[in-house]
Amino acid sequence: MNVLVIEDDPAIGRSLQQGFSEAGHHCVWQQNGTSGYETALSRQADAIVLDLLLPGESGWDVLQKLRAAGVQAPIILLTALGSVDDRVKGLKLGADDYLVKPFDFAELMARLEAVQRRTGNKPSMILQAAGLTLDLTTRRVTSNDTEKEIDLTPIEFSLLELLMRYAGQVVTRKMLCEHVWGFNWDGTTNVIEVHVNRLRGKLDKDRDQSIIKTVRGRGYALPAS
């Protein structure tokens, strides 16, 4: 599952990002309403966890704008505002559920799963891009041309998964580090270059040029088709 968390509290944001990662999901975390809204529009999320009291645009405004823009992903409001009026307002504006702080991560996960069952919004377990098929259930990667399986290490698989999720877009080295190691990465991002080069060596056999493009000063990109 690809989760977008919009939460300004660093402790809660880091905790959610680590919790989702340890549960096997990818999590993008934004700390203000404006960047959260822009991220929700530019990157497809399977679910959104949205705080209401945010810098920039409020969670109320973000929720209303997302629904007006046609974003259908389930949205769970996560906030200290726990009155009945606040809950009713959130649901009327288009939220799928409402969880009051403090909360337990297990309950949040259960609510996300329940919302997905109700809405029928089940994330695909098969990713396809750049002539490759990646199966998240079996953790197999195959070439569409040769139908041969490509043997990847867990880190290489994780890197390719993120590149395929955002095929056609630039994925920064920091995004790759956070996806692989599961929390806000504060170390050097140069370590990712070694793993990307190893991944290229396995994907680019019998190819004239690499399918993973380096975008100078920004990161890497995989073609969408």
Q: Minimal CA–CA distance to 30: which of 100, 116, 49?
A: 49
Q: Tokens 């340890």 — which residue?
A: 22
Q: Of 119, 135, 164, which marks where a domain is finished?
A: 119
Q: Of 119, 143, 174, which marks where a domain is finished?
A: 119
Per-residue pLDDT band at 211 (split at 50, 70, 90): very high
Residue 61 is predicted with a pLDDT of 93
Which domain covers residue 45, as residue numbers? 2-119
Whether 36 and 103 share a structural domain: yes
d(CA 115, CA 49): 12
Q: Of 89, 119, 149, which marks where a domain is finished?
A: 119
Judge whether residue 183 has pLDDT over 60.
no
Whether 102 and 10 share a structural domain: yes
**Which pair of structure tokens corresponds to residue 26?**
């990818």
Burial annotation 25-64 (CB, 10 A radius, 16+ → b, else e):
bbbbbbbbbeebbebbeeeebbbbbbbbebebbebbbbbe
pLDDT tens digits, 48-77: 999 998 998 999 999 999 999 888 889 999
| Helix-helix angle 173-181:154-165, to 10 degrees | 130
Whether 20 and 96 share a structural domain: yes
Looking at the 3D structure of the chain, how many domains does it have?
Answer: 2
Judge whether residue 82 has pLDDT over 90.
no
For residue 109, the 8-state DSSP code is H
**What CATH number is associated with residue 186?**
1.10.10.10
Q: Please name every residue paired with 220 in a beta bridge, in sequence order, or none if there are none.
A: 171, 214
Residue 114 is predicted with a pLDDT of 87
3-state secondary structure 115-133: HHHHHCCCCCCEEEECCEE
Residue 197 is predicted with a pLDDT of 92
- 26-35, 154-163, 180-189: the lowest-pLDDT one: 180-189
Q: What is the mean pLDDT of the chain?
A: 86
Judge whether residue 185 has pLDDT over 60.
no
pLDDT tens digits, 112-165: 888 887 876 655 678 888 889 998 888 899 988 878 899 999 999 989 988 988
Per-residue pLDDT band at 203 (split at 50, 70, 90): very high
Regarding pTM above 0.75, the answer is no
